[in-house]
């Protein structure tokens, strides 16, 4: 669902929690395929703010 919303450009803000744990390839992806052909086509985030919530990092920003 997140990939569909990003492709449709109906979201304008990112809030991403990063936990101090490595799940590897067995984990569920945070965002599904976006159909990008090159890295320069990536969805960009600007105005990033970083905070700690317990042991996690929280990144907040706006999609460009």
**Structure token pair of residue 6:** 């990003």
DSSP H or E segment with residue 8: helix 2-8
Distance (Å, whole) CA 43 – CA 57: 21
Mean of pLDDT values over 34-50? 93
pLDDT-derived band of residue 23, with 50, 70 and 90 as boundaries? confident
pTM confidence score? 0.75
Residue 64 has what pLDDT? Answer: 85
Give the residue extent of every domain in the chain. 2-23+37-63
pLDDT-derived band of residue 14, with 50, 70 and 90 as boundaries? very high
């Amino acid at each position: 669902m997140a990939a569909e919303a990003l492709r449709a450009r109906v979201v304008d803000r990112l809030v991403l929690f990063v936990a101090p744990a490595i799940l590897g390839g067995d984990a569920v992806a945070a965002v599904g395929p976006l159909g990008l052909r090159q890295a320069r086509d990536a969805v960009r985030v600007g105005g990033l703010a970083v905070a700690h919530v317990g042991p996690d990092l929280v990144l907040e920003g706006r999609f460009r």
